[in-house]
Amino acid sequence: MSIPQSGGGPIERHEQLAEYLADGCKPKDDWRIGTEHEKFGYCKDSLKPLPYEGERSIQAVLEGLRDKFGWAAVEEAGYLIGLEKDGANVSLEPGGALELSGAPLETIHQTCDEVNEHLREVKEIADKIGVGFIGLGAAPEWTHEQMPLMPKGRYKLMDAYMGRVGSTGTTMMRRTCTVQVNLDFGSEADMVQKMRVALAMQPLANALFASSPFFEGQKNGVKSYRNYVWRNLDADRTGMLPFVFDEGFGFEAYVQYALDVPMYFVYRDGKYINALGQSFRDFLKGELPALPGEKPTLSDWADHLTTLFPEARLKKFIEMRGADGGPWRRLCALPAFWVGLTYDQTALDAAWDMVKGWDAETRHKLHVCAGEQGLAGEVEGLKILDLAREALNIAEAGLKARARPGSGGMVPDETHFLNALQESVASGQTLADEMLEHYDGDWNGDLSQIYTAYSY
């Protein structure tokens, strides 16, 4: 999850809220790719999740990365909670999952190199202390009580609030992982088209990347349990955002949506101040109960935007948020999928033509169906497997049109990063289907074998 935002001065005009988002507009030559992925750490001998402190712990991994590989420490209240280096950061999810938020890079070749280097560093430190890491959409065996809450003020507040709204918020915080990519836009109109494509196609990404068919040691009956968790945690701040498809949608419409989402906190002097359930609209008037008489800064607005969790999230860039975490090939495939669909105008137009006839109900049904059935799902005659195949064809054409070479020019473009997804479409099987086959077959119902088979 996000770290505190900074650098924004006082909000003196309402228009500044939309202007903050509009400041993300960039010429196409400056568009970048920022890949993020989360992974669960565990003790190799016991297969139990890592505590924050101790010989085998999240803190030990962070200290190892800091000392061995030159990452700079990020601390909160005396606790080591993250690392920074070269435009990237390593942070902690609430239950201790380790997240790499990659630097904004020009090509998928570069972002995949970054992912691989990070995983190599993590593995070197982890192997020394008997720790492993695995990327799946949901923790396959661990209970809520086994997952420690990391020592971050933001998480303490969120944990209390999640217990009062929805039904799966604390599960999301502790026992789900994702891979996502952050992408740029050139103008308000470009943002609108990309947000609509992003939301409409998010179910296809969820189906292609589904990797969470187990929970608390048994089959859970769906292909992406993470999808189920996110659909049931807090209706105020999650979902498919139907208003994005309304005529006239733009930066200001997103501002109005964000202002209606209840607040979590205000960050002041290194501390998180409880503003749970309070209104940013009241904050703008100087009437926030948590800080009477004080008005917000743009940093407060930026922080608030990080507490919205829709399937595609708008900040000064767009976050594609619908995919389960997975093995390393899929960490590179996720940015390839979305860059191919959105960074070439012909591909983006084709993607919009594909989805523009779907209404809000259809998009919602696809979202639910993708999580439950993966590529085998069908909604109103729309077969998710066929839709995924069509989307991949568009993405492949978009990557060919980008023609960004790698390996010193030996690789002509970025299309090979889609191979893992092409294989899924060819077989009709998600990673979840593969895992279920192993569970019922050569694993003989022994779910502990998932760690050997799928760890980094």
pLDDT digits (tens, 9 = 90+) for 283-342: 999 999 999 999 999 999 999 999 999 999 999 999 999 999 999 999 999 999 999 999
Percent over 90 (pLDDT), the chain = 95
pLDDT digits (tens, 9 = 90+) for 343-402: 999 999 999 999 999 999 999 999 999 999 999 999 999 999 999 999 999 999 999 999
Q: Kindly report the CA angle at 20 between 19 and 26, in degrees rounded to 5?
A: 85
- What whole-number distance in Å separates Cα of residue 43 and Cα of residue 49? 6
Q: What is the pLDDT of residue 4?
A: 65
Task: Classify 396 as helix, strand or coil.
Answer: helix
Q: At what angle do helices 58-69 and 108-128 cross, to 10 degrees?
A: 110
Q: 15-454, what's its fold? A: Creatine Kinase; Chain A, domain 2 (3.30.590)
Q: Contact 171/227 with Cβ under 8 angstroms?
A: no
pLDDT digits (tens, 9 = 90+) for 23-61: 999 999 999 999 999 999 999 999 999 999 999 999 999
Task: Classify 312 as helix, strand or coil.
Answer: strand
Which of 187, 240, 253, 273 has the alpha carbon at shortest distance from 359?
240
Q: What is the pLDDT of residue 76?
A: 95
pLDDT band for position 407 (50/70/90)?
confident
Helices (H) and strands (E) in the chain, counts: 17, 17
- What whole-number distance in Å separates Cα of residue 39 and Cα of residue 28? 32
Task: Classify 190 as helix, strand or coil.
Answer: helix
Q: Contact 384/204 with Cβ under 8 angstroms?
A: yes
CA-to-CA separations, 108 to 172, 181, 252, in angstroms, rounded:
28, 11, 32
- What whole-number distance in Å separates Cα of residue 363 and Cα of residue 355? 9
| DSSP calls for 252-310 | HHHHHHHHTSPP-EEEETTEEEE-TT--HHHHHTT--TTSTT---BHHHHHHHHTT-EE
pLDDT band for position 9 (50/70/90)?
confident
Q: What is the pLDDT of residue 271?
A: 92
| Average pLDDT over every residue of 155-176 | 93
pLDDT band for position 451 (50/70/90)?
very high
Q: Residue 132, exposed/middle/buried by CB under 10 A (0-12, 13-18, 19+)?
A: buried
Q: What is the pLDDT of residue 319?
A: 98
pLDDT band for position 405 (50/70/90)?
very high
Residue type, 32: R
Secondary element (H or E) of residue 39? strand 33-43
Domain ranges for the chain: 15-454
| Dihedral over alpha carbons 114, 337, 175, 45 (to 10 degrees) | -50
How confident is the prediction for the chain on average, in pLDDT? Answer: 96
